Amino acid sequence: MIDVLLGLQWGDEGKGKIVDYLADKYDIIARFQGGPNAGHTLYVNGTKVVLHTIPSGVFQPHCLNLIGNGVVIDPVTLQAELHKILPLCPDLLSRLFVSQRAHLILPTHRALDAASEAAKGSDKIGSTLKGIGPAYMDKTGRNGLRVGDILSPNFTEKYNKLKQKHLQMLKQYDQVVEWEQWEAPFLEAIEQLGKLQIVNGEYWLNNHLKNGKKVLAEGAQGSMLDIDFGTYPFVTSSNTIAGGVCSGLGVAPGMVGDVYGITKAYCTRVGSGPFPTELFDETGDALRKAGAEFGATTGRPRRCGWIDLVALRYTVMLSGVTKLIITKADILDEFNPIKAAVAYTVNGVETNEFPYDVNDDIGLVPVYKTFEAWDTPISGTTNFDELPQTFKDYCSFVEDYLGTKIAFISNGTGRNELIAIS
Ligand code: GDP
Ligand code: IMO
Ligand code: MG
């Protein structure tokens, strides 16, 4: 069976930390979508590591790791990442596999991302500028280059053809993006990428599944950034929900087992777009400070607000979440009271559904339920029974509202700062 772990909010829910913990019980960790727009943080013997393209199972020595066909790869970022983590993980290359069908991010994809964002002015998506959107556009437009193409004798020809197409496209923008300096490192990194273990990912994975191996699919971004169901157009360019696993890895729906859905005990978003429970006051600032809410990929300050159970019930439904994980519950130790959105009013009418047109001025106001603050801090324990009753009441409410049981509560950055609920 293949289990799935994905973010239920707008990304940065703590997926990296949890995958690193859960990988102990899996043979293979597989990324199925996204690319270097992701920043997954974990701590290896106290050292902070941020992974962008490499799956978060690499620090469990028995785990194999697959970058699946649904991922878009920037060879330069991947090389930089390998250089950083090889000293911590010397056998990494023997445990890392790349699907030949994964698409490549070219220097001119990054240039197009930058030019497109600049042209949008105040309507910009707030992209990470890693070239994600343009690379997926070439994939669906049937122009893209794939990892398997690196091994073809015509690679340079194919690369130049696509580059020329991009240069024509760049002419339509006023913005000049100096991308040329990115080309030599790209071509060098392509050579290195060609030396990794490039596999037919779908056969590789299905054969392992047939042999009884346990696989965990690692999501990137979050469900509210999904290309179909997120707050379009302020989304990323891939399917971040559980549905993306089958097409992003080549596994059949019947092979999918548990779906772990992660949410912070509050909510954050980085980049533009609607965020119904965003706080513009000192509580929002305090959440950012207490939670160190700055982007792991871009360093941008994250927008902060209360947990949004309306949006969460929507994303739990979209992915059929079977096990909930609440992270950063320790951050709320300092807050009193604690709130959660349990409905919205839209032009005065109450609803429990996430609206289609939340982007427009539809007069959306969240309806909050207020919880008592935890009477003792929840950091520092790994035992559910030791948690304060006020926190247990909060957990019961969330479980009832979402119709899903909580499997883990994370209360610190370290791998084992976690409470498992049996
Ligand atoms: P990801 O993209 O979902 O992997 O999440 P990020 O790594 O972008 O952001 C999550 C941040 O929260 C990282 O800095 C983690 O070290 C940190 N983190 C994860 N879980 C917890 C937790 O339970 N408590 C605290 N205090 N920090 C956490
Ligand atoms: P992880 O995996 C948070 C956001 C960007 C922007 C929008 C589109 O660490 O949770 P893109 O570069 O994909 O074109 O940007 O999506 N975004 C993320 N926000 N965490 C991420 O990944 C993100 N990846 C993209 O900020 O608003
Ligand atoms: Mg992140």
Residues 66-119 pLDDT 10s:
999 999 999 999 999 999 999 999 999 999 999 999 999 999 999 999 999 999
pLDDT of amino acid 14: 98
Cα 322 to Cα 316: distance, rounded to the nearest angstrom: 8
Mean pLDDT, to the nearest integer, of 157-163? 98
Q: Please state, rounded to an integer, the average pLDDT across all residues of the chain.
A: 96
Question: Which residues partner with 28 through β-bridges?
Answer: 64, 215
Atom in ligand 1 nearest the alpha carbon of residue 331 = 26
Q: Check: CB of residue 378 under 8 Å from CB of residue 329.
A: yes
pTM: 0.97
pLDDT value at position 349? 94
Supply the pLDDT for residue 330. Answer: 95
* pLDDT for the residue 360: 74
Q: Which ligand is nearest the CA of 271, by number?
A: 2
Q: What would the pLDDT profile of 289-315 be if each residue is shown by its tens digit?
A: 999 999 888 889 999 999 999 999 999
Q: State residue 179's pLDDT score.
A: 93
Percent of the chain with pLDDT over 70: 100
State residue 159's pLDDT score: 98
d(CA 213, CA 205): 9
SS3 of residue 245 by DSSP:
helix
Assess whether the C-beta atom of 241 lies below 6 angstroms from ligand 1. no
Provide DSSP, 291-307.
Answer: TT-B-TTT-PBPEEEEE
Mean pLDDT of 216-226: 98
Say how many C-beta atoms besides its own lie within 10 A of residue 82's C-beta.
19
228 is catalytic: no
CA of 406 to the centre of ligand 2 (A): 25
Summarised one tens digit per residue, pLDDT across range 243-297 is: 999 999 999 999 999 999 999 999 999 999 999 999 999 999 999 999 999 988 8
**Predicted local distance difference test score (pLDDT) of residue 187:** 97
Q: Is the CB of 328 under 6 A from ligand 1?
A: yes
13-22, 119-128, 193-202, 351-360 — which is least confidently predicted? 351-360
Domains, the chain, in order of start with CATH, read 2-102+197-260 (3.40.440.10), 103-193 (1.10.300.10), 264-420 (3.90.170.10)
Q: Taking the mean position of all CA atoms in its chain, how far away is CA 243?
A: 15
Ligand nearest to the CA of 56: 1
Determine the average pLDDT of the residues in 227-253.
Answer: 98
Closest protein CA for atom 20 of ligand 2: 11
Predicted confidence at residue 176, as pLDDT, reads 86
- Which residue's alpha carbon is at the smallest distance from atom 4 of ligand 1? 40
Within 8 A by CB and 6+ apart from 392, the residues are 384
Rounded to the nearest 10 degrees, how much is the dihedral formed by the CA atoms of 123, 128, 129, 134?
-80
Which run of H or E residues covers position 400? helix 389-402
**Region 13-19: what's the mean pLDDT?**
98
Asked whether the predicted pLDDT for residue 175 surpasses 90, the reply is no
pLDDT at residue 359 greater than cutoff 80: no
Task: Calculate mean pLDDT across residues 393-416.
Answer: 97
Which pLDDT belongs to residue 228?
A: 98
User: How far is Cα of residue 227 from the mean position of the Cα atoms in its chain?
Assistant: 13
Give the number of whichever ligand sits closest to the CA of residue 50: 1
Q: Whose CA is nearest to atom 11 of ligand 1?
A: 14
Q: Is the CB of 71 under 6 A from ligand 2?
A: no
Q: Ligand 1 center to residue 147 CA distance, Å?
A: 31
Give the DSSP per-residue string, 191-210. HHHHTSEEE-HHHHHHHHHH
Closest C-alpha residue for ligand 2 atom 23: 221
So what's the pLDDT on residue 362?
84
Please give the share of the chain, as a percent, with pLDDT higher than 90. 94
pLDDT of residue 244: 98
Please work out whether the CB of residue 16 comes within 6 Å of at least one atom of ligand 2.
no
Give pLDDT, residue 284: 97
The DSSP letter of residue 399 is H
Residue 62 has what pLDDT? 97
Tokens for 52?
């962008």
Q: Which of 127, 226, 304 to mutate to test the pocket of ligand 2 (most atoms within 8 A of CB)?
A: 127
Which of 12, 20, 74, 113 is catalytic? The answer is 12
- Amino acid at position 210, single letter: K
